[in-house]
Each structure stands twice: as structure tokens, then as C-alpha cells.
Amino acid sequence: MVGVEQLYSPLDVEIDKHTLTEYVPAKPLESNLEVVFSVTEKTSITPQLDPCGQLSCGSALKFPFARADYTPMVVLISDAKVLVAADATTETKRVVELTLDIASLGELDYEPGDTVAILPSNSPQVVAQVLQRLNLTQQADSACHVNLALNCAKKSAKVPAHIPALTTPREILTYCVSLRSVPQKQFLSALASYTSELKERSFLASLSSKQGVAHYQTLILERGLCFLDLLELCASCQPTLALLVEHLPRLLPRPYSIANSPLESAHQLRIVYSIRAHNPGVTTSMLEAKVEQYLLQQKPVQLYVYPRMPNAFRYTDRELTSNQILIAVGTGLAPFLGFLEHKQLRQQHATGQTWLYAGAKTPQAMLKQEQLVIWQENSILQHLRLCYSRSSVAEQPKYVQQLLQQDAEQLVELLQQPTTILYVCADGAKISKSIEDSLRCCLQQVLSLDETQATHHLKELRTQGKYREDIWL
């Protein structure tokens, strides 16, 4: 379980070293919003079982990529299995498979590769710490609403659509705003004006100034310091809730790939997530807390989910007679587990070839490795190539890119067939780019193309829908 101590990890940033002696502070901004507590301030909103603030915002608030006719609904975590244990020596992330009981979504028509979105919430401990800093602990559950400030001069100012009309400070900080987003310079400058200690105020003001661009680059963009880190670094920074509502972006739902076939069960689906050991993300921390709750209580735990609009990255009955080249790195294997299970359940109709290239840190970190081998033995997979980046065997390829190049001849031959589709899924844009580079090399080598021609060929493949990619982060 991720404790607040880990989320609030001590930072080894010496603020004086990142404070300029000469800079022009940005013009102070007037606050455009105000938080007004109800006259009957003591009547707190009765907390629901598992409330979710953005759901009470009305139809004006859109949920990104939600399928038509679907809004977030409560589903139940009905099972949780650890697929991969975290391992610090190989920097392997813990991977968990969740089974979700989705009966509340009705007859959901989905295919392997489709995605659902999960509504995250900020951890209760972190929210409690922010409330304390804002001096709102006593009013954390008091009814309030957010208005335009009386003196607001900005014509375009409005109350963000992701804040419910009637809410509480705890609800806003738990469900509505992202506490870990990249702080914009305007926000830093606003925070400076709510900081009493000179050294800390100068640090924030200098960081937000035009002259502070290099420090902003290092601390905010490269080291990823977020609002919570700044609060830790600047103990005298005490912003208002209205300021946070104005400057912190919406806490957005996160997509997760469906990792099973719909033929398995109409009312259940599985997702697989990985969690970082250090500085874990908001949604994955929330999922970890829910898994812990599930394992402790041994009864289903609620989660807010909605189905996202499908795209071409899916394996349907149409694909049964075509060929697939599947390339996965890390947890990116998750959607392909669904593809392969679907093919298995439709095996009598499946005439196409399926090749899988997958990479993980170690054999233990490869998702469902035994199942992959069984699929190969049962001719669901015609070609299975696995590699491990932390392998100590010198002559073995470590990366899928190397496997692709080793197989260049047969790979390009299969790819050239009219019904072959190549799918790439990796948890990182850099890996996807590097896979593309090695595919380019394969095309150059086998088809005797120069780099420009091979790039053009890849572009054509994408246009024709023969090269499909899911980039996660």
C-alpha cells in the first residue's frame, strides 16, 4: 500500500540554489473565483458510500472519449491477482490483474483491445494534508459553492465545469482537481503571493519569472515537481481553495485496455495495471488501495468506470481470417492477452497467422508467460518471440527491436501480405518510436529501400490501417 510518506517523499531541492538574485516578478494576478460556504455552514453534505464529485456536475461536463449513451458507472472489483511482483533489483514494476463485474453497464458490446476509463481520486491522506495547509480541516465537509469573485474583471472567467454546484472542500480536492499536474508559471506566481516566508516567496516568484526559465525547466519540466512538492518545499505557502480551483486542472479519467475476450463473460472484464514503486501515479495508487481493501474485506469494492469509444486497435471476428503481428513491451501485452483468448475461443473460424514479439525485464515479469507458451503449442500463436532486457545471457537479444531485426526477412514477407495487420503496444512513447525505427530498418534491409523510402512505406502502412499503435503514456 502506498503511504502518504511515500507520496510526500522528502525532496533534496535546496531552494536557494534555484532562486535568482535578480528577476522581474510577474504582475500579480487578481483571483477570479471565490469559495462561499453555505449560510448553514455547519450542515455538512452527508458523505455517500463512495462519492465521486465530477458525477454531480451535470451534462455540461463531458467525459473524454466516452461511448455515446454511457456515463461513468459504479462497477465492482470482483477479483484481484498479482501477475508480477515488484523487484527493486531489476526495477520491475508490480503488475495486477483486476476482474471487474460490469453488470451495471448493461449489455456492453466490446471487443478485445477496446478500453475503459477509470475515474481516479486523490489519496485521502494527501487530501487531508492539503486541507490542513489551507486551514480548512474544520470545514473540510462543509457545504460550499464556487462563484466568480465579485471584483472579477476577466470577461472569459468562469467556474470550471468539473466543480459541482454544491460541493465541499474535501470533494473538490479528492475528485475534481489534479494535485500532481505540471504547475504553470502563472500558478507559481499566484502561489508566491500566498507565501509569507521571504526565502520561499522569492523562490516561487523567481521560478515563475521570465528570467527563471532555466530553473523552471530543471525543476518543473525535468524533475517533475508538482504542486504537492512545492507545498512541501515552501512550508509558509498557504493558498486559498479558490486559487487551487482556478489553477489546478481537472482530474481526468485514465484509460485501461480490456485484457480478455467478451466471449468469456458478458458481465465481466479484466484489466491489467502496473504501478511504479517510487512516486506512483494517482490512479494506480487508488487501484492499489482498492485492491488492499478488497483483499482485506474479501468482498467486492466499487470503482467508477465508463467504456471509451473504440478505435482500430481491436481484434474482432473480422480479424480471425487475417494475419496479425503483435509487438508488446511490458504491460503493453495486456490487450494482446484479450486478442489471443478471443482467437482461442473462436479457433474453429481462425485461419490467420498470429505472431507475437514481447519484451519484459525478466522472465518473471512477462505477463502470463505459461499461457503464451500454451497458445503457441495450441497453434493460436504461430510464432512466439520473447526477450528480457535484464537477461545476463550475453548472446540473447534483450529488446524486441533486436528480435524484429533477426526475423526481418520473414517478418516483412508476412507484413507484405494484404491481410496482415501489425499492432504495437508499449507503455511509453519512446519505446514505440524505437520499435518504429527498427521496423524501418527491416524494410530497408529486406526491400532494399533507402531511409526516406522506408519511412514512406511505414507511413503508407499506417494510412492503410496495417500499422496500428496504442501509445499509453
Ligand X SMILES: Cc1cc2nc3c(=O)[nH]c(=O)nc-3n(C[C@H](O)[C@H](O)[C@H](O)COP(=O)(O)OP(=O)(O)OC[C@H]3O[C@@H](n4cnc5c(N)ncnc54)[C@H](O)[C@@H]3O)c2cc1C
Q: Does 336 bind ligand X (CB under 6 A)?
A: no
User: 299 Cβ partners below 8 Å, 6+ apart?
Assistant: none
Q: Which of 70, 175, 187, 256 binds ligand X (CB under 6 A)?
A: 256
Going from the C-alpha of 69 to that of each of 55, 105, 112, 240, 254, the distances in angstroms are 15, 10, 20, 37, 19
Q: Tell me if 472 contacts ligand X by CB under 6 A.
A: yes
Distance of closest approach, residue 93 Cβ to ligand X, in angstroms: 6
Selected from 54, 168, 195, 274, the binder of ligand X by CB under 6 A is 274
| Site membership for ligand X, residue 352 (CB under 6 A) | no
Query: Per CB under 6 A, does 115 bind ligand X?
Result: yes
* Spatial CB neighbours of 410, under 8 Å, sequence gap ≥ 6: none
**233 contacts ligand X (rule: CB under 6 A):** no
Which CB contacts under 8 angstroms, 24+ apart, belong to 10-14?
10/232, 11/225, 11/229, 11/232, 11/233, 13/219, 13/223, 13/225, 13/229, 13/233
CB atoms inside a 10 Å sphere around CB 266: 14
Q: By CB under 6 A, what part of segment 187-226 binds ligand X?
A: none
Residue 290 near ligand X by CB under 6 A = no
**DSSP symbol at 10:** P
SS3 385: strand
Minimum distance from CB of 181 to ligand X (Å)?
9
Single out the residue of 215, 254, 361, 466 in contact with ligand X (rule: CB under 6 A): 254
Helix (H) or strand (E) segment spanning residue 360: strand 354-360
Beta carbons within 8 Å of 361's beta carbon, 6+ residues apart: 87, 90, 91, 92, 330, 388, 389, 390
> In angstroms, what is the minimal distance from the CB of 274 to ligand X?
4
Q: Is 331 among the residues that bind ligand X (CB under 6 A)?
A: yes
DSSP H or E run through 370: helix 369-377
Kindly state whether residue 294 participates in binding ligand X, applying the rule CB under 6 A. no
The 3-state DSSP class for residue 461 equals helix
Is residue 54 near ligand X by the rule CB under 6 A?
no
Could you give the string, one character per residue 405-444, with x where binding to ligand X holds by CB under 6 A and - elsewhere? ----------------------x-----------------
Interface region with ligand X, contact rule CB under 6 A, candidates 53-61, 211-219, 254-262, 394-402: 254-262
Counting contacts by CB under 6 A, is residue 360 touching ligand X?
no
322 interacts with ligand X by CB under 6 A: no
Interacting residues toward ligand X by CB under 6 A: 93, 115, 120, 180, 254-257, 271-276, 281-284, 331, 334, 427, 470, 472-473
